[in-house]
Amino acid sequence: MKKKTYEELIKESPVTYDMYANMEDDGRRYEISDGVLELMSPAPTTTHQSVSQELLFSLNATCRNEYIIYVSPVDVILSATEVRQPDLVMIHRSRMDIIEERGINGTPDLVAEISSKHSRRRDKVQKRIVYAKYGVLEYWIVDLSNFTLEQYVLDGQRYELADLYAEDEIIRSKVVPCASFSMNVLVQALPSKRE
């Protein structure tokens, strides 16, 4: 079977994970949103990458015995027609059966997106709705424009803003109780504070 290109695949509806997994590799990153193949932004900024690395380091320091932690790119297959690549994913070790070679096949305990001016609307509106729909218990949005962390906790089928963290406030989570760091810890390693 011939692998399809992005241009060929976007004409099909709905696009499924299997179609996406078998498409021609063109070096770009994609997500599937409700059966629609979406091209992701160009490579993240150096600020984004620095914050991502510090977030992973901080969580690994206190959570690695209880959680498996992945950073993007990793496919989170929420359904055949909903595949996302969050910036960070946490899965409790008691649920490791959802971890497959191809990606995470099911709902993680926590996802985090590192938001910039280019992805803010997508992260705060579209992805928040999707992650709630598929039962992700906690969703973090790290906002690079003001260096805050918005913590959303699932309440039924919707997220409620549980807290907003900045500077030296210690981030705490009922879903991931091992988490314990501040935004200043993430920001202090930045070469500069620009996005």
- Please state, in angstroms and rounded to a whole number, the distance separating the CA atoms of residues 79 and 23: 18
Long-range contacts of 4-7 (CB under 8 A, 24+ apart): 6/30, 6/37, 6/39
Q: Which residues contact 37 (CB under 8 A, 6 or more apart)?
A: 6, 9, 10, 15, 20, 30, 31
What's the average model confidence in pLDDT over 58-69? 96
Range name among 17-31, 80-94, 104-118 with the lowest pLDDT average: 17-31
For residue 180, what pLDDT is reported? 94
Range name among 36-45, 55-64, 131-140, 164-173 with the lowest pLDDT average: 36-45
For residue 195, what pLDDT is reported? 46
For residue 43, what pLDDT is reported? 75
- Please state, in angstroms and rounded to a whole number, the distance separating the CA atoms of residues 114 and 53: 11
Q: Which residues sit opposite 115 in a β-bridge?
A: 143
What's the average model confidence in pLDDT over 129-152? 95
Spans of all domains in the chain: 6-39, 46-187
Pick the CATH number of 46-187 from 3.90.1570.10, 3.30.70.3280, 3.40.50.10800, 3.30.499.10: 3.90.1570.10
Higher pLDDT, 166 or 123: 166
- Of all residues in the chain, the percent with pLDDT exceeding 70 is 97
Q: Is the overall model pTM greater than 0.85, yes or no?
A: yes
Range name among 144-148, 150-154, 159-163 with the lowest pLDDT average: 144-148
- Please state, in angstroms and rounded to a whole number, the distance separating the CA atoms of residues 42 and 53: 18
- Please state, in angstroms and rounded to a whole number, the distance separating the CA atoms of residues 166 and 158: 24
Strands 138-143 and 110-115: parallel
For residue 28, what pLDDT is reported? 82
Q: What is the pLDDT of residues 96-139, one digit of tens each?
A: 999 999 999 999 999 999 997 777 778 888 899 999 999 999 99
